[in-house]
Structure 1
Amino acid sequence: MTERRTKWLAIVAIALLALNMRTAVSSFSPLVTFIQDEISLPIVTIGLLGIAAPLAFAIATTMANAPTRKIGVEKTLIATSLLIIGGHALRALSWDSTALFVGSMMCLLGMGIGNILMPVMVRKYFPNRVGLISSFYISLTALSASAGSFLAVPFAELGGWRFSLGQWGLMAALTLLPLIALRKNSTPEKPLPGVIKQKAIWRSPTAWAIFGTQGMTSVFGYVSFAWLPLLLLEHNSVSVAEAGALLSLFAILGLPAALIVPGLAVKYTQLHAPIIWFSSAMGMTGALGILWTDGSHLWVWVGALGLGPTMFPLALTLYNLRSRERSTVLAVSSFGQGMSYTMTTIIVFLVGVFREITGGWEFALWMFFGVALFSALMGIQIAKNHFVDDELVH
Structure 2
Amino acid sequence: MKFSASQSSESNIHPAANASQMPVATAPSKALIVTVVIAILLLAINMRAPIIGFGAVAKLVQQDLGLTTKTIGLIGTIPVMAFASSSFVAPMLSRRIGLENTMILATSLLAIGIFVRVAHPQLGFLLAGTVLLSLAISLGNVLIPAVIKKYTPNHIGLVMGSYSMFLSVFAGFASGIAMWLVSLSSWQFALGVWGWVSVAAVAAWLIVAHLRLRQKISTHDAQVINQAVAEAGRPSRKSVWKIPMAWWISAFMGLQSLLYYTLASFLPSLLIDKGLSKAQAGNVGMVFQLVAFPSILLLTKWVSSNWNLRTLALLAAVGNLVGVFGFGFLPLQGWVWVWSIASGFGCGVIFTLCMMIFTLKSKDSQQAAELSGMAQTVGYSIAITGPIVTGWLKDLSHTWTLSMSFLTILMAINCVFSWLATQNKAIE
Instruction: Decide whether the 8 Å contact of 2:53 with 2:191 is kept in 1.
Output: yes
1:343 aligns with 2:389: no
* Equivalent residue number for residue 14 of structure 1: 40
Residues 177 and 360 (structure 1 numbering): CA distance in 2 closer, same or farther, change over 3 Å?
same
Change in 2 beyond 3 A, CA 1:342/1:291: same
- 1:9: Cα distance to partner? 3.8
Q: Alpha-carbon deviations, 1:339-368, whole Å to 9, x = none?
A: 222211112101111111122223332333
How far does residue 228 in structure 1 lie from its aligned partner after superposition? 1.1
Q: Tell me, yes or no, if structure 1 residue 156 matches structure 2 residue 194.
A: no
What is the aligned partner in structure 2 of residue 311 from structure 1? 350
Alignment pair present for 1:187 and 2:221: yes
Deviations 1:148-172 (A, max 9, x none): 2112111121132222111111111
Q: How far does residue 329 in structure 1 lie from its aligned partner after superposition?
A: 6.9
Mapping for residues 209-248 of structure 1, pairs under 5 Å: 209-234=248-273, 236-248=274-286
1:355 and 2:381 aligned = no
Write the distance in 2 (CA, Å) between the matches of 1:181 and 1:47. 38
Assess if the C-alpha contact under 8 Å between 1:13 and 1:178 holds in 2: yes
2:88 to 46, 59, 62: 62
Q: Quick one: distance in 1 between partners of 2:233 and 2:63?
A: 55
Residue 118 of structure 1 aligns with which residue? 144
Of the two, which has the highest radius of gyration? 2
Aligned to 1:375: 414
| Distance of 1:119 and 1:324 partners within structure 2 | 22
Kept after mapping to 1: 8 A contact 2:231/2:366: no
Unpaired runs of at least 5, structure 2: 1-25, 213-218
Alignment of structure 1 residues 129-148 onto 2, 5 Å: 131-148=157-174
The aligned counterpart of 2:317 is 280
Q: What residue is the counterpart of 1:253 in the other structure?
A: 291
Query: What is the CA-CA distance between 1:194 and the residue it aligns to?
Result: 6.4
Indicate yes or no: 2:122 matched with 1:96.
yes
Q: CA deviation at 1:97?
A: 1.0
Deviation at 1:247, TM superposition (A): 1.3
Specify the code of the residue in structure 1 equivalent to 2:282. G
Offset of residue 33 of structure 1: 4.3
Identity of aligned residues (%): 23
Q: Do the aligned residues in 2 keep the contact of 1:65 with 1:330 (CA within 8 Å)?
A: no
- Cα separation, 1, equivalents of 2:153 and 2:357: 14
Q: Deviations over 1:60-81 (max 9, x none)?
A: 3432232234444433222111
Pair 276,194 (structure 1): closer, same or farther in 2 beyond 3 Å: closer
Distance 1:345 1:209, change over 3 A: same
Within 2, Cα distance between the matches of 1:237 and 1:290?
Answer: 12
2:245 and 2:145 map into 1 onto residues whose CA distance is: 17
**Which residue is equivalent to 1:35?**
61
| TM-superposed deviation, 1:224 | 0.5
Matched residue type, 1:374: I
SS in 2 for 1:363: helix
Supply the distance in 1 between the matched residues of 2:174 and 2:37 (Cα, whole angstroms): 22
Instruction: Name which of 169, 193, 196 aligns with 1:167.
Output: 193
Which amino acid letter does the alignment assign opposite residue 149 of structure 1?
S
CA drift at 1:30: 2.4
Deviation at 1:142, TM superposition (A): 1.0
Q: CA RMSD in A?
A: 3.2
Deviation at 1:86, TM superposition (A): 0.8
**For 1:222-277, what per-residue CA distance to the aligned partner results, in whole angstroms no more than 9, with x for missing partners?**
1011111222223x322222222211121111121234434654x34544333321
Segment drifting more, 78-87 vs 26-35: 26-35
Distance of 1:327 and 1:155 partners within structure 2? 47
Q: Indicate yes or no: 2:404 matched with 1:365.
A: yes
Cα distance in 2 for residues equivalent to 1:9 and 1:205: 45
Which residue of 64, 72, 75 corresponds with 1:49? 75
- Counterpart CA distance in 2 for 1:8 and 1:308 is 34
Residues 138 and 313, structure 1, Cα contact 8 Å, conserved in 2: no
Range 359-368 or range 239-248, more displaced: 359-368
Q: CA deviation at 1:113?
A: 2.4
How far residue 111 of structure 1 moved from its aligned partner, in angstroms, is 1.0
Cα distance change on mapping 1:37 and 1:289 into 2, 3 Å: closer
Q: Corresponding residue for 2:338?
A: 300
CA spacing shift, 1:70–1:224, aligned 2, 3 Å: same
Q: Does the 8 A contact of 1:30 with 1:149 survive in 2?
A: yes
Please give the alpha-carbon distance, in whole angstroms, between the structure 2 residues aligned to 1:75 and 1:277: 42
Paired with 2:297 and 2:279, the residues of 1 have a C-alpha distance of 28
Return the match for 2:101 from 75, 81, 106: 75
SS in 2 for 1:93: coil
For 1:92, give the aligned amino acid.
V
Distance 1:356 1:302 in 2: 24
Separation in structure 2 between the aligned mates of residue 346 and residue 320 of structure 1, nearest angstrom? 28
Alpha carbons of structure 1 residues 15 and 261: separation in structure 2 relative to 1, 3 Å: farther
1:74/1:332 Cα in 2 relative to 1: closer, same or farther (>3 Å)?
A: farther
CA distance in 1, matches of 2:256, 2:34: 31
- Structure 1: stretches of 5+ with no match in the other structure: none
Against the structure 1 CA distance between its residues 88 and 69, is the aligned structure 2 distance closer, same or farther, given a 3 Å change threshold?
same
Q: 2 CA distance for matches of 1:46 and 1:218?
A: 18
